[in-house]
Amino acid sequence: MNQKIKQKIAFFILFLSICLVVIPIVLLVIFIGIKGLPAINWEFLTGLPKQGMRAGGIFPAIVGTVYLVIGAVLFSLPIGILSAIYLSEYAKENILTRLIRLAIINLSGVPSIVYGLFGLAFFVIFFNFGTSVLSGSLTLGIMILPIIITATQESLKSVPYAFREVSLSLGATKWQTIKNIVLPNALPGILTGTILGIARAAGETAPILFTVAAFYLPHLPKSIFDQVMALPYHLYVISTQIPGVPDRMRYGTALVLLVMVLSINLIAIILRYQLRKKKRW
Amino acid sequence: MVEKKVEVKNLNVWFGQTHSLKDINLDIYDNEVLTIIGPANSGKTTFLRMLNRLNELQENFRFSGEIIFDHKNFFDFSVQELRKKIGMVFALPVPLPLTVFDNVAYGPKLHGIRDRGKLKEIVERSLRLAYLWEEVKDRLNASAFLLSGGQQQRLCIARTLACEPEIILFDEPCSGLDPVSTAKIEEAMQELKKDYTLVLVTNNVKQAARVGDRTAFFLSGELIEIERTDRLFTAPKDNRTEGYISGRFG
Ligand SMILES: Nc1ncnc2c1ncn2[C@@H]1O[C@H](COP(=O)(O)OP(=O)(O)OP(=O)(O)O)[C@@H](O)[C@H]1O
Ligand SMILES: [Mg+2]
């Protein structure tokens, strides 16, 4: 009896903490949804900004964000996966690799404005890429690199050692084993990491502030050396820099960004679930 | 005397401070079934893993001594070639996370066979040899994890056979299995001994008596005695062997 009461209390506390996590998120989505929905229409999504961004659409910002995210992933996914493979499959355990691992973990805790300044110094000025899609993508790419490396390393590690041993015992080389057995089974985790990285890249303002984002640019970029508008920065601009922007435009922009990020996360969850279903160990 | 397939000379193996094999001298003849018996921690698995070169995956592994395989230095073969020629079946069945077909085709694909028809042929032959074909021929494309434990172990045998090895090492292949599955695997081994050299580690002394031509008795990393199976079981020379056998036969 006593145990049962204890159990109930424990469940109640767990339930409460879940509510504390879920309620603010739900409220946030509802709040933004109600306030932003009136702004959403075809012109808003596909049109150019007008009247000093007080009217018209946010199409350039949407496109800019998509470009930046694609660029960031193109850069960080191959490098991230390859370095994770090196770190967890090939590198010998020594002080150097331990330092590298520690550095990677710490990199994911670095504030994003620091990445922004780094991108400014390194890509914009040192490499002379200017404020451009290229600089912005590379900066975002570097920012999400630790996410991808950590996720990949973890999913590589989750592939049982026995599988590798069997593959090797049949005469496979190490690389064949990684390619045929380890990577395919690590894929769900790698994908999840990547998509979480994408969501992060899509939502950050600070890294693109000095490296790519245009205050107002009512046309689409023609090359990777052009500037673009981006959703998070646009939101910042119309919320703080320009007087007289109607409320619904601000919340509409926020809603678009929110829906983009949430649906990327949703894709991650579904993909993970689908791939998990297939595996049986 | 028949030809020597493998000659092990003064083999010592250490894992860190543990001296797991001590001065092992042992020959394996072509086409024989050599069974290895001995209590836990006597070094049986370590010996098999030496022949499949799996010990070296362990970082604290060291060894000394010499192994001759097909009259050549064991370590002159590339690791991959050697592991193909000397296949291993582990104590616990470990199917790869692939379909039944792809599990068996895994080795041949590694060794360069791409032709689908050829692969099918190899898969069927290997599964038949492992006494599994009839049970799985309708679900070759199902995940290997859907098979029962006994079927999984025979799948692992088929997978090793598909590499066309010359020697097959069995490490207590029946230890986790029921008597029916055990009987099937023994049946497969009876068939295999016609064409292959087999080394079978077993904790089942009766099994050793049933399938072995010769039997070696290991104790705390030492090879105590190696003899024709019938002789070792009826008239062991060393009284440690006798003690182990009589204890085992109860
Ligand atoms: N990777 C390793 N690291 C450290 N010690 C090891 C390692 N592998 C084996 N050993 C040691 O080597 C000795 C022999 O082990 P082995 O697995 O060969 O025994 P076995 O005869 O196969 O025993 P069992 O019947 O329990 O399978 C044991 O003392 C074991 O602890
Ligand atoms: Mg063992």
**CB A32 within 8 Å of CB A251:** yes
Residue B1 clears pLDDT 70, i.e. is over it: no
A49-53, B12-16, B28-32, range with the lowest pLDDT: A49-53
Q: pLDDT class for B61, splitting at 50, 70, 90?
A: very high
Distance CA A36, CA A227 (A): 27
pLDDT, residue A63, reads 92
Residue B62 clears pLDDT 50, i.e. is over it: yes
Phi, psi of A246 (to 5 degrees): -60, 145
Amino acid at A268: A
Stretch B76-97: mean pLDDT: 94
ipTM: 0.92
Residue B171 clears pLDDT 60, i.e. is over it: yes
Contact list, A185 vs chain B (CB under 8 Å):
97
pLDDT, residue A243, reads 86
pLDDT in tens, B38-50: 998 999 999 999 9
Please provide the size of chain B in residues.
250
Among candidates A109, A40, A88, which has minimal Cα distance to A190? A88
Residue A98 domain flag: yes
DSSP class of B143: B
Residue B158 clears pLDDT 90, i.e. is over it: yes
Nearest CA to ligand 1 atom 2: B15
DSSP class of B145: G
Residue A161 domain flag: yes
Per-position pLDDT tens, chain A of length 281: 688 899 999 999 999 999 999 999 899 999 999 999 988 899 889 888 888 788 888 999 999 999 999 999 999 999 999 999 999 999 888 899 999 989 998 988 899 999 999 999 999 999 999 899 999 999 999 999 999 999 999 999 999 999 999 999 999 999 999 999 999 999 888 988 888 899 899 988 899 988 988 888 888 888 888 888 999 999 999 888 888 888 888 999 999 999 999 898 888 888 888 877 766 55
Among candidates A152, A144, A231, A137, which has minimal Cα distance to A196? A144
Tokens standing for residue A175:
């690389």
Please provide the size of chain A in residues.
281
Q: How far is B39 from chain A (nearest CA, A)?
A: 24
Percent of all residues in chain B with a pLDDT value above 70, rounded to a whole number: 98
Residue ranges of domains in chain B: 4-245
Residue A6 domain flag: no
**CB A66 within 8 Å of CB A133:** no
Stretch B104-132: mean pLDDT: 93
Predicted TM-score of the model (pTM): 0.85
pLDDT, residue B185, reads 85
**Which residue range is the domain that position A220 belongs to?**
40-277
- What CATH number is given to the structural domain containing A227? 1.10.3720.10
**CB A93 within 8 Å of CB A112:** no
Phi, psi of A47 (to 5 degrees): -100, 170
DSSP-derived 3-state class of residue B168:
strand
Q: How far is B115 from chain A (nearest CA, A)?
A: 18
Contact list, A162 vs chain B (CB under 8 Å):
90, 92, 94
Residue B123 burial class via C-beta count within 10 angstroms: exposed 0-12, middle 13-18, buried 19 and up: buried
Nearest ligand 1 atom to alpha carbon B47: 18
pLDDT, residue A1, reads 67
Residue A33 domain flag: no
Residue A30 domain flag: no
DSSP-derived 3-state class of residue A171:
coil
- Is the CB of residue A158 less than 8 Å away from at least one CB of chain B? no
Residue B250 clears pLDDT 80, i.e. is over it: no
Distance CA B125, CA B159 (A): 11
- What's the total number of domains in chain A? 1
Residue with tokens 């050697």: B82
pLDDT, residue A39, reads 87
pLDDT, residue A196, reads 87
Could you tell me the fold of the domain covering B4-245?
A: Rossmann fold (3.40.50)
Residue contact B163–A171, C-beta within 8 A: yes
